[in-house]
């Protein structure tokens, strides 16, 4: 079962560019990592919730996504991308320095696939379905 979380469900009070959000948070915007606090601040500015409520809102959304992924569900965020769990089998790996073989245990990993909209924006284009 997959969960769809649409970006259109939250009302937007003000429009801010992505560059404004990044430049206000860091001296070097090209290398800034967006944190939970940055997301909470954006919710505070755009939606108008208090800072505490904004932080709780961000935590609640991330918790829902986290729980869905951990339980093995696919998470699809429209115009952003999809998170999937992939099971990897046990295999034999090699130490690149010594060449010695070492077993790599079976595990589950999270895979992210960017949407066409996100890929187009990253490459400076408008997506076809926008």
Q: Which residues of 16-30 are buried (b: 16+ CB within 10 A; e: fewer)?
A: eeeeebbeebeeeee
* pTM > 0.75: no
Quote the pLDDT of residue 129.
56
Residue ranges and CATH numbers for the domains of the chain are 2-122 (4.10.520.10)
Task: Return the closest-CA partner of residue 113 out of 64, 62, 77.
Answer: 77
The per-residue pLDDT for range 13-64, each reduced to its tens digit, is 444 455 454 444 444 456 889 999 999 999 999 999 999 999 999 999 999 9
Burial class of residue 103 (count of CB atoms within 10 Å of its CB; 0-12, 13-18, 19+): exposed
């Amino acid at each position: 079962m997959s969960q769809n979380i649409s970006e259109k469900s939250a009302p937007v009070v003000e429009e801010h560019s992505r560059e404004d959000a990044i430049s206000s948070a860091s001296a070097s915007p090209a290398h800034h990592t967006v944190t939970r606090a940055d997301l909470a601040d954006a919710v505070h500015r755009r939606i108008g919730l208090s800072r505490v409520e904004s932080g709780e809102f961000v935590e609640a959304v991330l918790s829902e996504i986290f729980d869905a992924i951990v339980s093995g569900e696919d998470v699809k965020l429209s115009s952003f991308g999809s998170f999937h769990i992939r099971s990897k089998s046990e295999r034999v790996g090699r130490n690149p320095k010594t060449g010695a073989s070492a077993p790599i245990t079976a595990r589950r990993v999270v895979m992210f696939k960017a949407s066409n909209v996100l890929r187009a924006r990253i490459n400076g284009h408008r997506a076809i379905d926008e």
